[in-house]
Amino acid sequence: MAAETFGPYRIEELLGRGGMGEVHRAYDTVHERVVALKRLSEPYGDDAAYRARFRRESQIVARLSEPHVIPIHAFGEIDGRLYLDMRVVEGVDLKDLMAGGPLPPRRAVGLLAQVASALDAAHADGLVHRDVKPSNILVAPGDFVYLVDFGIARSMGPEATSITLSGDVIGTLDYMAPERFGDRPVDGRVDVYALACVLFACLTGSRPFAQTEPAAQVRAHLQDQPPAASVVNPALPRAVDAVLWRGMAKNPDERFPTAGALMAAAEAALAAPAPPVPVVAPVTPPTAWLPPPQTGWAPPPPAPARTNRTPWLVAGAAVVVIAAVATVLLILRSGSGDDHNAALTTGPASSSASPTPTPSSSAAKTSTQATPGDQETQLLQHLPDVYRGNASCRADDGYRQPGTQAAVLCTQPNSQSPYFDAPSEAYFYSFADRAGQDAFFQQLVSTRGLQRDDGRGGCAPLKRTGIYGLYYRDESGPVPGEYVTCFVQAGAGQLWWVDTRTLTVGELSSASADTNEGLDKLYTWWNEMVLVTMK
């Protein structure tokens, strides 16, 4: 059977197929070389305006001289069908490389730094890639990387034109920036967002948003905070979380300005040395107040009327909030198909490092510990009695935020309740004044549009959404400005509160409190073991 021909090309085996066309190995009989020939589907060639845009955008890509951009030999139209003639690359794509789990962090950053170089060169030439994903990143022997498939790229600026047919949304939902889903103008920061998503996948072995339904994926990119990478992969330093969160910020203005800046920050986060662990002398644990013995667990009783408040059960005002609240809280702590383009690969890439095993724990965190200074020492002295003087409490600079003076992490309380499990960890943040403390919390309220409701108690974020409110620690009622909220984030329940008497914001976190019942238990533990020591 005679081989198919396409102009001067002799078509050989199919290398890959995507939403816009197919890629074959082909032999260029004019230049006597083997190439990767991408032929776009026929509907794309039926529109004269589209053909003109394709030529213009392809010309921009072809003139890019950046070594990590797959070279384009030729482009045009043969027998009414648009095509791209590209170099064949020996290697594998990043999607296949990640099949065994997360990559070693330094290797992942080294590979994607090359992608960033290609993207920054394209952006400087006025071109946005728009489909950065693992299958478009080819790894050649020696870990040399090529970014491929600029075939859906578009130029930037007021006269920017898309090479897609009118109304098409082209790209991969797994890595698509929020502004791609509306009519907002796009620029190179959509590629920064996508590269941050790919970096998350390389470091953790999973996509930042695990939803499979297209509508759920779109909603996640528009609204949800990605989980902390250091929770998914405890081997990662927590400083990486802040880098990824900034790279995947919903607002383009809050992202890194360039792909190179993103990768430089990621490299710095991996290179930062871990400070020594401070030693805090233990003290005799205080005797904790406990409720009367009871059999089994039952939900806490409803909050009593405000005229008859009890000190241990926060009577009037506990607060609940949806998991979307975690977006801002964790930001405060820091800073659709997949078109397979192994089409341009022909063999395995060399590798000097094997992928790291997939972590078994989904809730562990690593910390950036610091020697206590004056502010940290003062914060350690202001901890609730259930944590004060505990050897597990140490200064932690990993999540220091603008406006905070110090951060302390505690992993063990001094006393345990026989009825409710203690949180796995508790963070405390100190502030210089009420204004800074209030701004820290009000940023959450204003950014997420949370509504204040002081009339309900308990934690049930899956039942009541978008709520925060006052809490009551004794019969005299709350101190103005003291609030509480709880939610589930990254498989762990969290409860945050504002303590204006010590200018502290606290957070309890428990991997077992990831349900309404679990959050109620965490909330009751807080009432019993924390509030009674804070009068």
Summarize the annotated binding site for ATP as residue ranges: 38
* Pick from 343, 358, 322: nearest CA to 85: 343
- Please give the DSSP secondary-structure letter assigned to residue 324: T
* Pick from 67, 46, 70: nearest CA to 58: 70
Q: How far apart are CA 518 and CA 530, in angstroms?
A: 17
Q: How far apart are CA 249 and CA 188, in angstroms?
A: 14
Q: 199 and 108 in contact (C-beta within 8 Å)?
A: yes
Q: How far apart are CA 3 and CA 430, in angstroms?
A: 73
Parallel, antiparallel, or unpaired: how do β-strands 127-128 and 154-155 relate? antiparallel
Annotated binding site: 38
Q: Provide the token pair at 177.
A: 């920036």
**522: three-class secondary structure by DSSP:** helix
Answer yes or no: 47 catalytic: no
Angle between helices 105-124 and 189-204 (to 10 degrees): 170
- Beta-carbon count within 10 A of 471 CB: 24
Helices (H), 125-247: 189-204, 214-223, 229-232, 239-247
Question: Catalytic: which of 93, 131, 224, 241?
Answer: 131
At position 57, the amino acid (one-letter code) is: E
Q: How far apart are CA 75 and CA 433, in angstroms?
A: 63
DSSP per residue over 56-123, as a string? HHHHHHHH---TTBPPEEEEEEETTEEEEEE----SEEHHHHGGGSPPPHHHHHHHHHHHHHHHHHHH
Cβ neighbours of residue 373 closer than 8 Å, sequence gap 6 or more: 395, 406
Parallel, antiparallel, or unpaired: how do β-strands 144-147 and 154-155 relate? unpaired
Question: Which active-site residues does the annotation give?
Answer: 131
